Amino acid sequence: MFNVGDNIVYPMHGAGTIDSIEEKEILGEKQSYYIIKMPGEVKVMVPTAKAEAMGVRSVIDSVGANKVLKILEADETEMSQNWSKRYRENLDKMKTGDIYEVADVVRNLSFKQKEKGTLSTGEKKMLNNAKVILVSELSLAENSSQDEIEKLVENKIEMSYKEYRVPTEAKIDLQQNAVNKFIPFNGTSTNV
């Protein structure tokens, strides 16, 4: 049971604050609803009796927020090379409502976008949606503005991408541009 003013997460939509709890009659049935104020002045109604079954949960705390940032700092997890399979796997992660799974999707798709230069329309939408969900929860968890959190998320991803991908690419460049030396058995070297 949640109360007015609680920060909660509604899977696939993001984090918001319970604005009120109201009784409404919909399709001839009276029910109690959480009225949730979401980012962008959107309000969502969720039946109080079904909220937990729908995946509504409390926003993570600062320890959870630090765990999310560690996920963004890590190397990507293995993803299918098949676009449709990868899309389904990422969608399943998103549907769990687990912020750590959402962070994994954001990092992995961000890496894929940096490597390819672009994503398919479906994956681009998924990445944008995952970022909205991630940023909305982190901003409530850390009591920060969404702009600050967006910059933080982008910085963490950029740093991890450089750490895990750029060195590999730099090593390949170094190998391709290296001066080849031939060292004969007598110990003297000559440039080739």
* Tens digit of pLDDT at every position of the chain (192 positions): 899 999 999 988 899 999 999 999 988 999 999 999 998 788 999 999 999 999 999 999 999 999 999 999 999 999 888 889 999 999 999 999 999 999 999 999 999 999 988 899 999 999 999 999 999 999 999 999 999 999 999 999 999 999 988 765 554 554 455 444 444 455 555 554
Give residue 113's pLDDT: 94
Lookup: tokens for 142: 């850390």
The pTM of the full predicted model, rounded to 2 decimals, is: 0.82
> What is the residue whose two structure tokens read 């949730």?
36
Give residue 32's pLDDT: 96
- The CA–CA distances, whole Å, from 63 to 69, 70, 131, 138 equal 10, 11, 20, 11
Give residue 188's pLDDT: 53
> What is the residue whose two structure tokens read 């109690």?
32
- The CATH classification number of 62-174 equals 1.20.58.1290
* Chain mean position to CA 33: 28
The CATH number fitting domain 7-58, selected from 3.40.50.2020, 3.40.720.10, 2.40.10.170, 3.40.50.1370:
2.40.10.170
CB 60 within 8 A of CB 141: yes
Give residue 183's pLDDT: 46
Count Cα atoms within 13 angstroms, Cβ side, for 95: 6
- The CA–CA distances, whole Å, from 142 to 60, 65, 68, 125 equal 9, 7, 12, 25
CATH 1.20.58.1290 range(s) for the chain read: 62-174
Question: How far, in Å, CA of 121 to CA of 131, rounded?
Answer: 15
Give residue 191's pLDDT: 52
CATH 2.40.10.170 range(s) for the chain read: 7-58
CB 134 within 8 A of CB 36: no
Amino acid at 15: A
Lookup: tokens for 110: 């961000």
CB 48 within 8 A of CB 30: no
